[in-house]
């Protein structure tokens, strides 16, 4: 069978994290993602991110751009407009992750391109969207984590506000963008008319507040940072230190709380009024936390995992990344992919979690070298000949 997204073509004016992460999900399912890179600045800035960068290739870039085609095109050059429109003519979507004022400046909104392709879907993922007082501001994952309140509920209560260890706003934004592209193209193929999608990392981050956002907006709830990464209201649901490491223990159901009490040889706690219900444990979380901390400190991580898993209590070792990648579950499901890169050599990376049987996609492939596909794409999609491509090169349109 053909890859699930074969026949979907996206012109991607993107760089760094959120945007490239989103389009890579589609590329790894078979979409043709034509990545436009600005020759005047050396292409996507992520090509140069340390520590594993060599020339215009880096492992950072590979993590966000596998399976795409790279085209050098200076969109600020007056001679680039016709090239862009020729690319749009055969595309399903134009995607960008610029500042909110970028799509209007580059004329890549639906109103700018509908005469070229009435079914084109124009998706913009910016920091704050294309309207409002912040529309012209730039934003990065970590700044949005601060602005959207994430840092206020992350980290130790005695420490400073803390960002997530990973760029989760970017990754969530990428997934939202990928879903939006698919929804927009589905509608355009049905109705024959495209349109705009105006996405915002700030709004993506606010949406991820989920129940905390609902509680605050509806009942003026005041979330706080909890010790040992504890849940805001479910107790126990947190990290505990063992005699030789850390484990996560989760009791999001009353039945699981009862199992935990048996597993720690304290069955009487299950019916003790102080801890018998969700609400009671929340009210008395400090007392219960101290009690459980002393219990878990008495045995090793391995001993507790054996005992808790045997009792049916959700739990896990707190791994470092190397240990996580070595988990036998990952090996059993082919969770690590490998490929060869002409500059970087062998690259090993977590495989895409998007799996659609019987055919997941075209298989993993490396990210493109800078401008690697410029000539081929212009010939294939724009029907340009050698003379036309050489003229564009001499004019500086292609760098």
CB neighbours of 218 closer than 8 A, spacing ≥ 6? none
Q: What mean pLDDT is reported for the chain?
A: 96
Q: Which residues pair with 123 in a beta bridge?
A: 95, 197
User: Are 123 and 97 contacting, i.e. CB atoms less than 8 angstroms apart?
Assistant: no
Q: The tokens 């998007």 sit on which residue?
A: 354
Helix (H, G, I), strand (E, B) or coil at 163: coil
- The yes-or-no verdict on residue 358 having pLDDT over 90 is no
Find the mean pLDDT for residues 236-245.
98
Whether the pLDDT of residue 314 is over 70: the answer is: yes
pLDDT exceeds 60 at position 361? no
Spatial contact of 268 and 275, defined as CB atoms under 8 Å apart: no
pLDDT digits (tens, 9 = 90+) for 318-340: 999 999 999 999 999 999 999 99
SS (H, E, C) 9-72: EEEEECCCCHHHHHHHHHHCCCCEEEEEECHHHCCCHHHHCCCCEECCEEHHHHHHHCCCEEEE
Assess whether 271 carries a catalytic annotation: no
C-beta atoms surrounding 394 within 10 Å? 9
Q: How confident is the model at residue 2 (pLDDT cuts 50, 70, 90)?
A: confident
Q: Above 70 in pLDDT, residue 44?
A: yes
* Distances from the Cα of 245 to the Cα of 260, 291, 294, 299, 314, angstroms: 19, 18, 14, 10, 17
pLDDT band at 363 (very low <50, low <70, confident <90, very high): confident
Q: What is the pLDDT of residues 186-217, one digit of tens each?
A: 999 999 999 999 999 999 999 999 999 999 99
- For residues 57 and 47, the answer to whether their CB atoms sit within 8 Å is yes
The one catalytic residue in 32, 92, 112, 170 is 170
**Pairing mode, strands 237-241 and 93-96:** unpaired
Q: How far apart are CA 64 and CA 141, in angstroms?
A: 15
Query: Residue 302 pLDDT more than 80?
Result: yes
Secondary structure of residue 198 in the 3-state scheme: strand
Domains of the chain: 9-208+332-395 (3.40.50.10540), 228-318 (3.30.1540.10)
Position 25 confidence tier, pLDDT thresholds 50, 70, 90? very high
**C-alpha–C-alpha distance, residues 185 and 163, integer Å:** 35
Half-sphere exposure of 255 (CA within 13 A, CB side): 3
pLDDT computed for residue 130 by the predictor:
97
pLDDT at 359: 62
- Over residues 63-100, the pLDDT tens digits come to 999 999 999 999 999 999 999 999 999 999 999 999 99
- pTM score of the predicted model: 0.95
pLDDT for the residue numbered 193: 98
For residues 30 and 2, is the Cβ–Cβ distance under 8 A? yes
Q: Give residue 362's pLDDT band: very low, low, confident or very high (50, 70, 90).
A: low
3-state secondary structure of 216: helix
- Mean pLDDT over 263-292 rounds to 96
Q: Which two tokens stand for residue 23?
A: 């389009």
The candidate with the shortest Cα–Cα distance to 9, out of 71, 61, 56, 60, is 71
User: Could you count the other beta carbons within 10 Å of the beta carbon of residue 187?
Assistant: 15
Closest CA to 177 of 23, 387, 50, 340: 23
Beta-strand relationship, 315-317 and 195-200: unpaired
Q: Are 225 and 213 in contact (CB under 8 A)?
A: no
Give the per-residue pLDDT at 355: 84
Return the pLDDT at 356: 83
């Amino acid at each position: 069978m053909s890859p699930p997204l074969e026949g979907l073509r996206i012109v991607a004016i993107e760089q760094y994290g959120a945007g490239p992460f989103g389009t890579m999900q589609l590329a790894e399912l078979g979409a043709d993602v034509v990545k436009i890179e600005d020759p005047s600045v050396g292409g996507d800035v992520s090509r140069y991110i340390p520590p594993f960068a060599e020339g215009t290739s880096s492992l950072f870039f590979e993590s966000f751009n596998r399976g795409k085609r790279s085209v050098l095109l200076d969109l600020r050059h007056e001679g680039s407009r016709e090239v862009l429109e020729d690319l749009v003519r055969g595309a399903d979507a134009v995607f960008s992750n610029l500042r909110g004022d970028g799509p209007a400046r580059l004329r890549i909104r639906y109103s700018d391109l509908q005469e070229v392709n009435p079914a084109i879907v124009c998706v913009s993922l910016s920091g704050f969207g294309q309207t409002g007082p912040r529309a012209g501001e730039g934003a990065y994952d970590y700044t949005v984590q601060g602005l959207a309140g994430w840092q206020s509920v992350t980290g130790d209560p005695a420490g400073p506000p803390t960002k997530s260890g990973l760029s989760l706003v970017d990754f969530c934004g990428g997934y939202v963008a990928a879903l939006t592209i698919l929804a927009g193209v589905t509608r355009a193929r049905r109705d024959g008319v495209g349109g705009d999608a105006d996405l915002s990392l700030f709004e993506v981050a606010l949406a991820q507040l989920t129940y905390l956002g609902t509680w605050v907006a509806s009942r003026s709830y005041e979330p706080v940072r909890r010790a040992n990464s504890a849940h805001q209201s479910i107790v126990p649901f947190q990290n505990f230190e063992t005699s030789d490491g850390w484990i996560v223990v989760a009791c999001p159901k009353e039945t699981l709380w009862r199992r935990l009490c048996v597993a720690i040889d304290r069955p009487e706690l299950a019916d003790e009024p102080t801890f018998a219900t969700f609400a009671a444990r929340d009210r008395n979380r400090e007392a219960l936390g101290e009690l459980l901390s002393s219990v878990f400190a008495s045995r090793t991580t391995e001993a507790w995992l054996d005992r808790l898993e045997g009792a049916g209590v959700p739990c896990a070792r707190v791994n470092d990344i190397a240990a996580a990648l070595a988990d036998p579950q990952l090996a059993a499901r082919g969770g690590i992919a490998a490929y060869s890169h002409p500059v970087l050599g062998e690259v090993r990376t977590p495989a895409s979690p998007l799996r659609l049987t019987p055919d997941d996609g075209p298989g993993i492939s490396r990210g493109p070298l800078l401008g690697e596909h410029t000539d081929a794409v212009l010939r294939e999609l724009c029907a340009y000949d050698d003379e036309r491509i050489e003229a564009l090169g001499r004019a500086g349109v292609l760098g």
